[in-house]
Amino acid sequence: MDINRLMSSFHKMETEHNLFSKMYKSEYIWDVVRFDVFHALQSDSPLFKSSGKLKIFIKKLISKSLQTICLVSLVLSRKKTLVCKTSRSKIQSGYVDPFSAPITRSLKSNTYFEIELYHLASGCFNQRYLFTYDINHSLPIVFLKEILTALQLTFPSLYREDVLIKAINNAYNKYIVEYSFYKKMYKYSSIEKTFIVQNGIQKGLLHAAIKNNVQVVELQHGYVGYTHPAYSYPRSILPTYVYTPNEFWAFSDFWHQEVYIPKTEFKILGCDFVDIKSINGNAILFISRDNHHDILVDFLSHISVNTEREIIYKLHPNQMGDFLRIKKSLSHLSNVDVILNEMSVNMCIEKSSDVVCIQSTVVFEALQSNRKVITIKRADHVHSALLEKTNNYYAIESAEEAVYIINNKKIIDDHVVFFEPINNNLILEWL
């Protein structure tokens, strides 16, 4: 089932079975777990690695200590703004978050408090150490029965009960752990507003903010659209059933066309987009991620032997653990360079004329930079009638098609805008 039809069926199931209204201990559970359920229907559920008893004890000790220090620091500082950033972009000095940067540039450094959500980044208060998910909060199977029945009836060929139960309990456990901390933080500190760049789904933070009347603005950091469950809800549901931000600040109005988030106001922040149309590269850029790798490698192998041009195979941060294995497996292809964080996406686009992927925000960066973009209609490829009207965009089925486009199609000079300049007035109004 392609991802567009999967989401359509998912929405229908959610409304017909009234899943959003299901409560457990006064909490609406479906909004907490639906993101993980949607992805579990497509692949195995990600698991939190279980640790030994000593390691769990140490992690809990670190978490409790750091949470206490964090809370005391917030209370004493009386700061009114929290910035939850996700610093996944690597530069020479370390990891940075370009999406929260327009906000932090506009604030005095002593007026806001930071929590880092990306585990590899630095920062005194990093989510990696603030929270331990080894605590086992799980939902009773009796409560899950209605949800599992709805999933089995709607997706009989995709239904794997053990995988779905794991996905639901993973999401619920994460939510409970984070909600417990943020509830105390918002209750006892002076925080009145929060800017967040999501890394995963921070439903615990969002619910705690709602309970304490704290305003939350989510900053766009990647693809949002109909097939992304964090930003795609049935329009008929009651807003009280969901935990969503007050506002969503997007790169441009384009992103609003297929997005619906209950009780969330959509505004245009823009993006620090670097115009590189005048820079002419000649490489072929592949944009990978863990669930796309096997498909992309088949296309990569065919394209590699049918062109003498350099090929950059850029891995996603979630492939960090597989970097050496992938680099070794592709070492026989002399014109392929496997990279992780050695170059930014922008630098990769500068060096390239063609971009190949399945689904990525890089599609839009490359098109606005006047590059040819070839998307492969496999896995979670998103059909977009809007994109298919755009020059230089190609959605294909076979590697032969990709080779033909790379070798024969010329770049058409086009002016498409997916990223507006930063709207500093919006930031000043909110601050």
Question: According to the model, what pLDDT value does residue 46 have?
Answer: 55
In order of 227, 249, 282, 418, 426, the CA distances from 267 in angstroms are 20, 5, 36, 14, 8
Q: What confidence tens digit (pLDDT) does each residue in 381-392 have? A: 888 877 888 999
Q: What confidence tens digit (pLDDT) does each residue in 249-270 have? A: 999 999 998 889 999 999 999 9
As separate numbers, helices (DSSP H) first and strands (DSSP E) second, the chain gives: 15, 16
Task: Indicate the pLDDT class of residue 74, thresholds 50, 70 and 90.
Answer: very high
Across-strand partners of 313? Answer: 286, 338
Question: According to the model, what pLDDT value does residue 329 have?
Answer: 97
Q: CA end-to-end span of the chain, whole Å?
A: 45
* SS3 track for 223-276: CCCCCCCCCECCCCCCHHHCCCCCEEEECCHHHHCCCECCCCEEEECCCCCCCC
Q: How far apart are CA 49 and CA 36, in angstroms?
A: 16
Q: What is the C-alpha R_g of the chain?
A: 22
Per-residue DSSP letter, 385? H
Q: Which of 65, 117, 111, 76 is nearest to 95 (CA)?
A: 117
In order of 286, 296, 301, 308, the CA distances from 336 in angstroms are 10, 13, 9, 10
pTM to 2 decimal places: 0.89
Q: How far apart are CA 410 and CA 413, in angstroms?
A: 9
Q: Is 19 helix (H, G, I), strand (E, B) or coil?
A: helix
Share of the chain above pLDDT 90, in %: 80
Task: Indicate the pLDDT class of residue 53, thresholds 50, 70 and 90.
Answer: confident
Question: According to the model, what pLDDT value does residue 123 have?
Answer: 86
The tokens of 34 are what? Answer: 């639906």
Residue 220 phi, psi dihedral angles, 5° rounding = -60, 140
Question: According to the model, what pLDDT value does residue 186 have?
Answer: 98
Q: What is the mean pLDDT of the chain?
A: 93
The tokens of 53 are what? Answer: 């008893």
Question: According to the model, what pLDDT value does residue 344 have?
Answer: 86
- Total residue count of the chain as it appears in this document: 431
Side-chain half-sphere exposure of 77, counting CA atoms within 13 A: 18
Provide the sign of the torsion angle of the four alpha carbons 396, 398, 401, 406, taken in this order.
positive
Task: Indicate the pLDDT class of residue 271, thresholds 50, 70 and 90.
Answer: very high
Question: According to the model, what pLDDT value does residue 158 have?
Answer: 95
Q: How far apart are CA 354 and CA 407, in angstroms?
A: 10
Q: Which domains are present in the chain?
A: 1-272 (no CATH), 283-408 (3.40.50.2000)
Tokens 């456990």 sit on residue: 173
Residue 413 phi, psi dihedral angles, 5° rounding = -65, 120
Q: What confidence tens digit (pLDDT) does each residue in 279-309 have? A: 889 999 999 999 899 999 999 999 999 998 9
Task: Indicate the pLDDT class of residue 47, thresholds 50, 70 and 90.
Answer: low
Q: What confidence tens digit (pLDDT) does each residue in 338-377 have? A: 999 888 899 999 999 999 999 998 999 999 999 999 999 9
